[in-house]
Structure 1
Amino acid sequence: MSDPLRRIDALVEEDTLPTLKARRQLRLAAGLTQAEVAEAIGVKRLAIVRWEAGAAQPHRGNRLAYAHFLRRLAAKYPDAAIEGASDEG
């Protein structure tokens, strides 16, 4: 695979978000509030509310940070990610 294709794969993977339910499940598994997540990412709590509800999608920079945050939680709480993914249709 050429370098541009690897860069594309990395880009897609790094900003891919889990299902809506998995996002919430991961946050809850970590015992975090929406306000705590918002503060860590640098957005308002309402942004997290909307992202978890599917009412809005994060913009590029915030999306990268949010996706990174959720991947870290998924690594720490794999059962939460699996439960959240299997419950959403």
Structure 2
Amino acid sequence: MTTAQDPLAAVEDLLSQATWLPAVDARGPLRRAAGFTQAEVADALGVGRVQVARWETGFAEPSGVRRRAYSRLLRGLAQQHPDVVASTAAP
């Protein structure tokens, strides 16, 4: 083990780097459940609205820092709206 680090801070650091994205079928419903438009998400991530639409339909995937930011957004929305994730999960 290297230097002593606060375990909670270490976990938060790992979570901030996570790039998990929910299934394509859940991305749009999560955004809509939060009341966000594609344009609002696009503005926050520094991309065009069409790019967000492509991520939501599976025609493209974000990469790099935008993937981390989009992942963080969707993970947060999934925590706020677990019913949306459950309703879009495959049986």
* TM tier relative to shorter chain: 0.7 to 0.9
State yes or no: 1:49 paired with 2:53: yes
Cα distance in structure 1, aligned partners of 2:30 and 2:90: 13
Aligned to 1:28: 32
1:1-89 alignment runs, 5 A limit? 10=14, 14-86=18-90
Task: State the shift of 1:84 in Å.
Answer: 1.9
State whether residues 23 and 84 of structure 1, in contact with CA within 8 Å, keep that contact through their aligned partners in structure 2. no
- TM-score normalised by L of structure 1: 0.79
Q: What are structure 2's unaligned runs of at least 5 residues?
A: 3-9
Higher relative contact order, chain-length normalized (CA < 8 Å, sep 6+):
1
- Which structure has greater helix proportion? 1
- Computing the radius of gyration over CA atoms, which structure comes out larger, 1 or 2? 2
- TM-score normalised by L of structure 2: 0.77
Deviates more, 1:75-84 or 1:43-52: 75-84
Task: State the shift of 1:14 in Å.
Answer: 1.1
Task: State the shift of 1:62 in Å.
Answer: 0.6
Task: State the shift of 1:43 in Å.
Answer: 1.1
RMSD value, Cα: 2.2
Q: What amino acid maps onto 1:57 in structure 2?
A: E
Q: What amino acid maps onto 2:58 in structure 1?
A: G
Structure 1: which 4+ aligned runs deviate by more than 3 Å?
none
Deviates more, 1:13-22 or 1:55-64: 13-22
Cα distance in structure 2, aligned partners of 1:85 and 1:62: 24
Aligned residues: 81
